[in-house]
Amino acid sequence: MERMVYTAEHEEFRSAVRRFLEREALPKYATWERQGFVDPEFFLQMGELGFLGMQVPKEFGGSGIESYKFNAVLNEEAAAAGLALGSLRTHLDLVYPYLQRFANAEQKKRWLPGFASGETMTAIAMTEPDTGSDLAGIRTTARRAGEVYIVNGAKTFITGGRQARRVLVVCRTSPPEKANRRAGLTILAIDTATPGFTSGRMLSKLGLKAQDTCELSFDDVRVPIEDRVGEEGQAFRLLSQNLPQERLVIAIGAVASARRAVEHTVDYTLNRKAFGTPVASFQNTKFVLADCAADVAAGQALVDDAIERHDADALTPAQAALVKLWSTEMQGRVVDKCLQLHGGYGYITEYPIARLYADARVTRILGGTSEVMRTVVAKSMQL
């Protein structure tokens, strides 16, 4: 089914991204999976080609493109290639919107050139060991002491935390109010070289093996007041404004991954024989793959509509939640069915479907669990 969301310029960019990933990522990916992180040189190469600064203003070394569609293409190609580049997604789609919207002119001048070049990779730290989806329960504190904040606490499940040179950390700068637990939260952009900032153990995961995910700890970390993003106590409002894009990018990757699973399985069943005949010739195989193709097409239509809405600044939190809910649940169904059609080989990690299966499971958790997405959608229905 032809997609109408992209122009010829986007498709030219897609071809360039695909060639780059085939040349610079796929041959090294097994090594990245074993070591648990992507080589920093890869991000510097992306910066040189302009891939990291597409939305960054020209005066800071970027391309100054307002449209999100080029980022969407980049995420689609990475997911379609089976590359778990969560650090890249975090850098471009989670961190940058905060810098774009809420950083002041002086902060942009300091931070954005390195952001666009890949020299200053970034991460965002919200989740804590005892909070999970309950951001209002954050316990990491930032106590004001003259012209600095003194930060103490811990974060977990931080994508890109090992390699980041600056991390947006959500801290509690004042106690929560009785009527509003979300009050009193502030975002600080902390330089990871600051004394007391520790990137802790890397977490061993079921999937996403090349994506570094770690714990962070803060022991009397002194953060200059000029590294605060936005106003004190306004973090929850700022975080809420970026939720649609965060959830959209997860949905984009989920649909691309599901599509890739179907493509792998079509190829496998055409070439794999059982009882002397190609597995693809069995009626069950045809019906299962037809259902999977329909699911992917429905998910793609939802995602493409959401991309257009996001570019028009019209994607609501409820719409983004609905798209993420459908796309990630669909991804789980489709990848599971595709693995089943591989039989025992689907359980062997040298086959792409096994890695797609392992990587897919977390999309129903990160960026807000499916249960949270259902709650958001239900609330929009006045339920």
Following DSSP, what letter does each residue of 323-359 receive, concatenated? HHHHHHHHHHHHHHHHHHHTGGGGGSTTSHHHHHHHH
Tell me the two tokens of residue 222: 């002194």
Distance CA 193, CA 195 (A): 6
The CATH number given to 124-233 is: 2.40.110.10
Question: For residue 177, what pLDDT is reported?
Answer: 83
Reported confidence tier of residue 187, pLDDT bands at 50, 70, 90:
very high
Question: For residue 136, what pLDDT is reported?
Answer: 78
Question: For residue 176, what pLDDT is reported?
Answer: 84
Residue 106 C-beta-side C-alpha neighbours within 13 Å: 6
**Is pLDDT at 95 greater than 80 in this prediction?**
yes
Q: Give the type of residue at 241.
A: Q
User: Does the active-site annotation cover 128?
Assistant: no
Distance CA 319, CA 252 (A): 14
Tell me the two tokens of residue 95: 């961190």
**Is pLDDT at 284 greater than 90 in this prediction?**
yes
Distance CA 368, CA 319 (A): 14
Architecture of domain 236-381 in this structure: Up-down Bundle (1.20)
The CATH number given to 8-121 is: 1.10.540.10
Question: For residue 293, what pLDDT is reported?
Answer: 99
Domain range annotation of the chain: 8-121, 124-233, 236-381
**Is pLDDT at 134 greater than 80 in this prediction?**
no
For the chain, what percentages of helix, strand and coil (3-state, to nearest 5) are there?
Answer: 55, 15, 30
CB 122 within 8 A of CB 161: no
Distance CA 362, CA 357 (A): 10
Q: What is the mean pLDDT of residues 208-217?
A: 96
Q: What is the mean pLDDT of residues 64-87?
A: 95
Which burial class, exposed, middle or buried, applies to 248 when counting CB atoms under 10 A from its CB (0-12, 13-18, 19+)? buried
Reported confidence tier of residue 160, pLDDT bands at 50, 70, 90:
very high
Q: Which of 208, 244, 307, 280 is nearest to 3 (CA)?
A: 307
CB 336 within 8 A of CB 357: yes
Q: Model confidence over 255-274: pLDDT tens digits? A: 999 999 999 999 999 999 99
CB 264 within 8 A of CB 272: no
Total residues belonging to the chain: 383
CB 58 within 8 A of CB 64: yes
Q: What is the mean pLDDT of residues 41-60?
A: 98
Q: What is the mean pLDDT of the chain?
A: 96
Q: Which of 222, 217, 91, 228 is nearest to 155 (CA)?
A: 217
Q: Model confidence over 223-259: pLDDT tens digits? A: 999 999 999 999 999 998 999 999 999 999 999 999 9
Q: Model confidence over 300-324: pLDDT tens digits? A: 999 999 999 999 999 999 999 999 9
Question: For residue 135, what pLDDT is reported?
Answer: 78
Question: For residue 335, what pLDDT is reported?
Answer: 99
Q: Give the type of residue at 292.
A: C
* Strand stretches in 30-77, DSSP E: none
Question: What one-character-per-residue DSSP string does 135-201 give?
Answer: GGG---EEEEETTEEEEEEEEEEEETTTT-SEEEEEEESSPPBTTBTTTTEEEEEEETTSTTEEEEE
Higher pLDDT, 181 or 233: 233
What angle do helix axes 352-360 and 235-271 make, rounded to 10 degrees? 160
Distance CA 361, CA 206 (A): 9
**Is pLDDT at 133 greater than 80 in this prediction?**
no
**Is pLDDT at 1 greater than 80 in this prediction?**
no
Question: For residue 59, what pLDDT is reported?
Answer: 97
Tell me the two tokens of residue 336: 């599971």
Tell me the two tokens of residue 135: 């951001």
Annotated active-site residue in 76, 77, 246, 329:
246
Query: Is the pTM value of this prediction over 0.85?
Result: yes
